[in-house]
Structure 1
Amino acid sequence: RTLSSLYSAGIPIVPSLQIARKTVGNDYIDQQFDNVIPFVRAGNNLSEGLDMVDGFTRKLTDSIRVGEETGSLDNMLMTTSEALEYDADMAINKMMSYVEPIMLIIMGLILAFVMVSVFGAIYGSYDSIAGME
C-alpha cells in the first residue's frame, strides 16, 4: 500500500522502494531488498526483482507484472494491496477461530484448579475445626 501511494504520487520507483522497504516490518524481507533495489535501478522490471524476494506470494509479483505490462502499475499496486490485506484478515480470523476454543478450555482448567484449591482449603479448615471438638 505504501509503494502504491508513493508511486501514484509521482515518486520514481527506486526511491519509492527504498521508502516502502522500511514499512514491511520483516527484517528477513528487508535484507533481501538490498538485491532488489540495484536490480530495478539497473533497468529491470519490478516484478522480476520482487520474484527474487523469498516471502512474497506469487500473486503479488504476477499482479505487478500485469500492471507493468498494461501501464497501470499504481492502480494494480493498490488493488493488490487491498486483496492481500483482505487475505491477511481472513487468515487472522481463521486462526482466531481455532485459538478461541483452546483459550476457553485453558481458562476453564485454570478456573477449575483455583476452585478445587480454594474449596480444598475451606474443607480442610472445617475438618480441623471439627477435629478440635
Structure 2
Amino acid sequence: MQNLCDKILDLQHVRFAGLISDNGNLYAGGFKKNTAPMVSEKNRQMMYMRFALESSFRKDFDDSFGAFRCSTIQREKISIITINICNYILLVFTEPRIDLQTKVKEIQNIIDDDKRNFLNNLFEKNDM
C-alpha cells in the first residue's frame, strides 16, 4: 500500500497521498518530500477521522445510487481527491487550480496497474 501512495506522490502537483482506515487512522502514505503540511498533526488526525466518517455516510446511498467511487473538492489553497479502495479511503491533496478530473484518471490508472500487477503475481505464485 505504501508503494501505491509513493507512485501517486510521484505525480506532478500532488502534495500528499495517504490511505485512511475506516476508523480515521493513516495506514500508509504521507507528504511528498520537501512539502510542508498546512495543518498541525492534531488537526490532520481530526481531518482523517472526518473523511472516514463522511465515507461511511456515503454508503447509506449505495443501494440507490451505486457504490461511491470518488469525490473532488477545490479549495482556495488546495484541492482534495478521495477514492474508495477496498476498506480504505485514498486521500490525495494537490495544488489548487489543476484539472482534477485528469488527475483522478491518472490516479485511477496507477490503482488499476497495481491491481493487475498484484493479480498477475498472485497467479504466478499459485502456478508454481
TM-score w.r.t. the length of structure 2 is: 0.33
**Which structure carries more strand by proportion?**
2
Larger Rg computed on CA atoms: 1
TM-score w.r.t. the length of structure 1 is: 0.32
**Which structure carries more helix by proportion?**
1
